[in-house]
Structure 1
Amino acid sequence: MRRASFRNGALGADRLEEDLVGLILCDEGHRLKNCENQTYCALAGMKAQRRVLLSGTPIQNDLLEYFSLVHFVNAGILGEAGEFRRKYERPIVRGRDADATDNEHRIGKEKLEELIAVVSRCIIRRTNDILSKYLPVKREHVVCCPLTPIQRRMYLAFINSSAVKKQITDGEAAGYLGTLLYLIFRNDWNPQNDLQAQARCHCIDQYKSVKIYRLIEEENCDCRGTKKMMSDEDIWA
């Protein structure tokens, strides 16, 4: 038995390429969402009888990342990446566009149902309907904070500026067993990172109610992004 981080596991994978491994078990499996990076290729090159990925947030940005996870544990079940794009990703995404025709909506829905049926052969999904029996109450409050006049002027100047050349990437995510109050002062650029941090508080072996406060500014991209994220959660529920 060998235990390693994704980085160390990838660095040592070349020494095990010729050996047959009984089981590869990857926690935080969504980190293998890019089938072209070095870590993914190194681990995929290992000969293994069984592969298992554990993830609470398998779908993060797009369906191709989901394909990478499924392909890692069951190569070929969805074909190759190009085939997956043509057969599933494009019609599903197109069917969800606001300007899609009725026929495109119908095709997108059919392809999504077909995709779910295929991947259900290699995915064990446990939703909150099951886990809620073992979890305490979680209350999430979205607090919309109006901008002050000077904040509004600064915000408008920022979003209208043509000289913005870098993204704001500061901020930290944390959350551990025993934490009962979790504050989100700024949405993470990847909403799934916030969900993962929440899950570290609201998890099995936590026996007290957990409160989550998300502070967002009104009438700006942060507010609109939060509404979209809540809509996306309903779609993938």
Structure 2
Amino acid sequence: MPIFSTEALRDKHVLITGATGGIGYETAKLLVKMGARVTVTGRNQEKLEQLEKELLQMASKEQVFVQRADLAKQEERENLVGQAEKQLGFISGLVNSAGIGGGNLVEELDEETLDRVMNLNFKYTLLLTQAVYRKMLEKQEGAIVNLASLSGLRGTHGGTAYAASKFAVVGWTQSMALEAIEHGIRVNAVCPGYVDTEMAWNGIRRRAEKNGISFEEGMKNAASEIPSGRLSTPEEVANTIAFLLTDAAGNIVGESLKISGGSVMR
């Protein structure tokens, strides 16, 4: 359940990548409810249109801008930022939610897979952030939230590429935060454990197949490994992201907040 008022992000414009599903999708809806103007992007046009429909049921056209973009392409990254500012004004917040999962043993990991995971989870995200950050520097204000992972804080069996990409996000977050805060810009990350989304389901499904059990059994096993006894919800992660964008988090800098139901305690 949202814990913020409709005034918490009033007059803020937030760009959200990876908004076509899971955490990004729920974050977009929450930020609109908090009064923010939001630009949402992703690669799936059909899902973008569905999200736009939902957002416009909660907000006016002046509060929402939707544009499909492939972050791998420089011209599309730059066009996204330019069009977002043209439509809704200065981008004061950025949520880097775009990313992919994946599980490969080291001996099975091929270069193509490694490049795909590292590029989308880290390289292209950093390059988009650079484009937005340059705009923030002109205003000397802003807040950036990167979606990392619990796998960015500890390794995972069969997750070398994914964990490496998220470790990179955490390291980049900490390093950039030291530069950005000199200009009044805050940079932080969230590090979810298992979240009840398609990405987590795919990972649990692969693990279940390897162990010769059903997906349902795999879900139960995954939940039983978490001290709280359940997976986090996308809404819970969205609430944490939203908090980091508000003035209430004004002195939180370079942190990687865990949302794991206590998983790191074991």
- Larger RCO, structure (CA 8 Å, separation 6 or more): 2
What is the TM-score with the length of structure 1 in the denominator?
0.26
Please tell me whether Structure 1 or Structure 2 has the larger radius of gyration of its CA atoms: 1
What is the TM-score with the length of structure 2 in the denominator?
0.24
Q: Which structure's residues are more often helix, by fraction?
A: 2
